[in-house]
Structure formats: structure tokens, C-alpha cells
Amino acid sequence: MKTNSTSTRSEPERATRRDRFQEAVLSVLREIGEDPGREGLVKTPQRVADSLRFLTSGYKQDIHQVLNGAVYSVAYDEMVIVKDIEIFSLCEHHLLPFFGRCHVAYIPTKKVIGLSKIPRLVDVFARRLQIQERLTNQIAETIMEAISPQGVGVIIEARHLCMIMRGVEKQNSVAVTSAMLGAFRDCEQTRAEFLRLARER
């Protein structure tokens, strides 16, 4: 299972990195023809740096720590589904947001994951520069590795601002991706049940 850990940095090094980040934002503001010294933009470099650090905080998250203590041995072999998990991520091509809902299901073999950990797991991967297809696969593959269930299914429905605000400018378009592993790929009945439950409101 791949993890991302944050290295220990000294305060001067962190301050230098903050300064570089803010200088980069200042350069962008100047390049688009703005005056970074005007009242509304004076603190923008700091705000943008803080915002991007939060929106990409998934790089510093360790999957083992996120799931630590939340994997349980249970005699249960029916489908577990957590649906309508809100996701917010950044498209790696344009650094514009995409957002929507994620539905996650799995059929346990011997272990289950604490229900609150599934949305947290989704956030770990969503808070990185992403494409929706990879995000969908990463969630499914991580659950498969963590508890070796009979199968995992993940569906993401999202709106992409790179399509809505620019490019084709289609305001009502929704991208849907899915990852079906194990029983969800091999058994049509299992896959159909998941799709039905995900659609129910």
C-alpha cells in the first residue's frame, strides 16, 4: 500500500517555503495584469498559499495512520455501502476544482473498516492534484489492499470547472467514473445491486 509521509523540517526551512510560495502567487498576479499592492490583494498570496496547502494536504497523509485502529474482524459477508460522500479535488491539468459525490461499497471477507474512515480515505486521495479516473481507482485499490474483501466498488459523479467555466463551457455536464474489483467485476448481480443502491435517494 502506498503511503505519503511528511518529512520533519526546521522552522526556518518552513518559513522559506512559505515565502517562495507567496512570491510565486505574487508573480501570477502580476502576470495577469493585477496590482498585488492594492487593498483587496495585499493578503491574497498568503491566503492562496494556505488554501492550496489545505486542498493538497492529502500528499502528507499516511494511509496506515488514517486506517489505524479502524479495521475490525467481523463475521459479516453482505455488502457494506457508504454513499453520497462529498468530494472536492483539483484537476491536475488546470488546477481548477472538480466536485461531486462518491459511492463506496465492499463485501467483507473477514474484516471491515470503520464507517467514518471511508470518507476520510476518500479525502486523502481527493486532496491531491487529480484526475477523476485515477482518484476512483486509488480509493478502490486501497480498500482492496487494506482488508482483502470479496470485492470493492467505487463510483464518482463530479462536475469539473475546467469544463464548466472554460473549454466547452457545458454547465450541466457530469463525469461519472467507476472502479469494480473482485466480486463487483465478476458478478453482474453484485454490480447491479451496488448501482441500484447508489442511485437510490
134 vs 162: CA distance, rounded Å: 17
The pTM for the full model equals: 0.88
pLDDT of 196 strictly over 70: yes
Q: pLDDT, tens digit, for every residue of 71-129?
A: 999 999 999 999 999 999 999 999 999 999 999 999 999 999 999 999 999 999 999 99
- Residues 157-183 have pLDDT tens digits of 999 999 898 877 777 889 999 999 999
Task: Look at strands 111-113 and 71-73 and give their pairing.
Answer: antiparallel
Q: What is the mean pLDDT of residues 3-20?
A: 68
Of 68, 75, 147, 137, the residue nearest 106 (C-alpha): 147
All structural domains of the chain: 11-55 (1.10.286.10), 71-199 (3.30.1130.10)
Average pLDDT for 139-156: 97
Q: Render the burial of 157-175: b for 16+ CB within 10 Å, e for the rest.
A: bbbbbbbbeeeeeeeeeee
